[in-house]
């Protein structure tokens, strides 16, 4: 896989919905590919943090019908991307040193939820 993330990426997580495959890397890379099209569609590095592993990715339909994906990293950040423009639309970050977000889930209603125990951070997810 080539692009801004570099010529090779060690994959840490993967998500697929319909013909869209998104891979996350051990150095904060995000690589998007439509399986019915040649080449990589979008590629970026979300963070340059020393502990940048992409822990989880989820692709979901926003209530407006737009396709979004959410990615969590060990830098305590959760990022939401719009797939139409391949643009970062929301970034949430907890205080460093607390804990990393290892997983998250989007409900069928577009209300984002996380397995985090801190209600303040979960409330921010619901506002997206």
- What is the CATH number for 66? 2.130.10.10
Separation CA 26–CA 47 (nearest Å): 11
**Total domains in the fold of the chain:** 1
Residue 2 covered by a domain: no
pLDDT at 51: 77
Taking 50 as the pLDDT cut, the residues of the chain under it are 1-3, 6, 108-122, 128
Exposure letters 106-118 (e unless 16+ CB within 10 A, then b): beeebebebebee
How many of the other CB atoms lie within 10 Å of CB of 84? 9
Residue 5 covered by a domain: no
pTM: 0.72
Residue 1 covered by a domain: no
pLDDT at 30: 93
Residue 4 covered by a domain: no
pLDDT at 4: 53
Residue 110 covered by a domain: yes
pLDDT at 2: 45
Give residue 80's domain range.
11-127
pLDDT at 118: 36
């Amino acid at each position: 896989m080539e692009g801004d993330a570099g010529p090779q990426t060690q994959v840490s997580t993967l998500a697929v919905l319909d013909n869209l495959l998104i891979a996350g890397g051990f150095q904060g890379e995000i690589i998007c590919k439509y399986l019915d099209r040649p080449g990589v569609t979008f590629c970026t590095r979300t963070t340059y943090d020393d502990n940048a592993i992409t822990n989880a990715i989820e692709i979901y339909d926003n209530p407006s019908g737009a396709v979004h994906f959410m990615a969590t990293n060990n830098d305590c950040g959760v990022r939401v991307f719009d797939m139409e423009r391949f643009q970062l639309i929301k970034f949430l970050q907890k205080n460093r040193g607390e804990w990393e977000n290892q997983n998250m889930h989007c409900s069928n209603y577009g209300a984002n939820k996380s397995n985090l125990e801190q209600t303040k951070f979960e409330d921010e997810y619901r506002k997206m």
